[in-house]
Chain A
Amino acid sequence: MSTEQSAIAKIWNWRITAFCALILLVVTIAAVSFGPISINFFKVFKTLFDLPGGSTGQDRTVILQLRLPRVILGALVGAALATSGAVYQTVFHNPLADPYLLGAASGAGLGATIALTSTHHNLYGALPIFAFVGGVLAVMTSFIISGKFFADPNSLLLSGIAVGSFATAIQTYLQQRHSAALRPVYSWILGDLTSASWSVVAWSSIYIAIALFILFNVAKQLDGLMLSDEEAYSLGINPKRLRIIAVAAATLATATAVSASGLIGFVGIVVPHLVRGLTHRVTNRSLITISMAGAAFLVLADLGARTLLSPAELPIGVITAFVGAPFFLFVLRNRRKLVQ
């Protein structure tokens, strides 16, 4: 009869996931509480959960109509980018892969630039659609050009870089031709959550939820993609099919995130490495933890973006890089010590 003494220790520890969920909850309530108008933390909690003693009047409007949609959008975008980054890193065997690798960012950037430089001003409202279509089209072009359709991940990666460069070239040309659009395009490239509203939350949450649902479902099998195709096949997975599913879902999440909030860099690389570094686990079962950590990270970054120079706002991309880069270097530097 097997006992714990005659077995190796469990690899995955759900307490880490629970801890991340708690952090996300606390960060969410804090982000709704703080801003140009500070609202008591417990009042926010009661308002969010519709308990007696919650805020009323203007505070209630600030919480439910201004801050909450922004915080939720930040959480959705953070979860989408962090999860997609982790998936891309696994699929391409590349620790530096980020969600924008296959041209999603450049394609979305081109789509947004077309909307912003259009002589038809009413296209500005359709910017998210342009960005979404641009991102998806760029990734699909990378797929088609790579030819082997996932037989070789490296050929897809290289075609993604080529498509991205091409889209960026067109984007730069358009910007030069319409210098008045330089500022809004630049602002969009740095990313922001100021356009958050319940309608943006509604449509983006649908796509991101579908993508994350798919990725969480295949998360455990993604570990097989860390091996060669022959090894993965012998372990019972079809690596080519799984790569297509994983990259398609990750691209859907990334394109939605980009179209809702612009280009927010660093989340897709930093958060997966942070979670893996701190938990000492590389297994893709940590995807759900990575998504919650990504959500908490971006909500916190957005809180910094709107409060550090209040009432002015910093682009959120500046905060993610400013905070993320040193923290990331700290974790890399201390990883060996942490593992021991």
Chain B
Amino acid sequence: MSIVITDLTLRYGQKVVLDDISLEIVGQRWTCLVGPNGAGKTSFLRALLGMAPYTGSIKDGGIEVFQNHKRNVAFVPQHPQIPQGMSVAEYVMLGRSKREGWGNESLASRSYVRKVLEETYLFGMQGNLVSQLSGGEMQRALIARALAQEPELILLDEPTSALDLHHQISVLNNIELLKEEGVTIISTMHDITLAAMFAEQIVIMKEGRVLLTGSSQDVIHSTELKQAFDNRIDVHTLDSGRPVIVASKREREEK
């Protein structure tokens, strides 16, 4: 089921953070928002969550998102609020609340949480406090909570920002598995190379506007991508045909 966005505008006070955006996000696919800081990527996710008041419309299955309280949307934030004194098991069990009710600890729920903990390599750590997890473990705990939610739509804000290369791939593989279960995935990502590897649809944003939307192959070699980053990136193609996006030489020298 696609999400259709029409004339979406979002303001924080006088500041326009999303400016008249119209696009269609294909259901059961991975869509990635890329662009420089301040492009409006996180605000776009907040609007999709129904948390920020906007004008225009965001329709999911024909219903405006902020009116559809039954939607099961999981959200993985870039900067989570880490609850003091909460164990990994309690934290991941929170993901079951929308599906089974708050505080429900049915056998089925606890079995599902165990499966999710195993998938995210957190099984055996369920008694640890989330406040004592490393950055990478915390990111996996966030993904585990989102998976426990069995969502229809998952929103991820920079899901790989705190991870080393090995865990980046591991987490992204976990997320990719969701597509097979019919979940629609929307993420922001600074690493455009990874975005091109995993996402089917890429949306290039700059200053609250969408510059281009398309498949990763179409978008990666576009002039709009360079334009979004003020021509400070270079796109190379490996022998395998895989694109690699790096900061341009001029940019590196300036740094």
Contacts and interface: CB of A to CB of B under 8 A. Distances in A.
Interface stretch (A125-133, A182-190, A219-227): A219-227
B23 interface: no
Given A230-B51, A236-B69, A4 B107 contact: yes
Given A7-B107, A230-B46, A93 B114 contact: no
A219 B81 CA distance: 19
A231 B105 contact: no
Nearest to B42: A230
A8 B97 contact: no
B103 A285 contact: yes
Interface string A227-255: 11111011110000000000000000000
B173 interface: no
A226 B69 CA distance: 21
B95 interface: yes
A236 B107 CA distance: 22
Contacts of B126: 8
Contact of A6 (B69, B105, B114): B114
Interface centre among A2, A234, A236, A282 (most CB of B within 10 A): A234
B114 A7 contact: yes
A233 to B, nearest CB: 5
Interface in B111-150: 111, 113-114, 117, 126, 149
Contact of B110 (A10, A95, A227, A230): A10
A92 to B, nearest CB: 12
A11 interface: yes
A42 interface: no
A11 B86 CA distance: 11
A227 B111 contact: no
Contact of A234 (B73, B102, B117): B73
A3 B108 CA distance: 9
A283 interface: yes
Interface centre among A2, A3, A221, A235 (most CB of B within 10 A): A235
Contacts, number: 99
Interface in B40-92: 46, 49-51, 69, 73-75, 77, 79-81, 83-87, 89-90
Contact of A228 (B80, B102, B110, B114): B80
A12 interface: yes
Interface string A1-30: 011101111111000000000000000000
Interface in B143-175: 149, 155
Contacts of A236: 69, 97-98
Interface centre among A4, A12, A224, A236 (most CB of B within 10 A): A236
Contacts of B98: 235-236
A93 B80 CA distance: 13
A233 B81 contact: no
Contact of A282 (B81, B84, B102): B84
A281 B90 CA distance: 9
B102 A221 contact: yes
Contact of B80 (A227, A281, A283): A227
Contacts of B8: none
A283 B126 CA distance: 15
A9 B105 CA distance: 9
Contact of A235 (B97, B103, B107): B97
A224 B103 contact: no
B5 interface: no
A4 B149 CA distance: 20
Contacts of B75: 230-231, 233-234
A11 B89 contact: yes
Given A7-B114, A235-B95, A282-B83, 8 more contacts: A7-B110, A223-B90, A228-B79, A229-B51, A230-B49, A231-B80, A234-B155, A283-B90
A-B interface, 7 closest residue pairs, ranked by CB to CB distance from nearest? A220-B103, A220-B102, A234-B75, A7-B110, A282-B85, A226-B83, A2-B111
20 contacts: A7-B107, A8-B110, A8-B113, A8-B114, A11-B87, A11-B90, A12-B103, A93-B81, A226-B81, A227-B94, A228-B79, A229-B51, A231-B77, A231-B80, A231-B81, A234-B49, A234-B73, A234-B74, A235-B98, A282-B84
Interface of B: 46, 49-51, 69, 73-75, 77, 79-81, 83-87, 89-90, 93-95, 97-98, 102-103, 105, 107-108, 110-111, 113-114, 117, 126, 149, 155
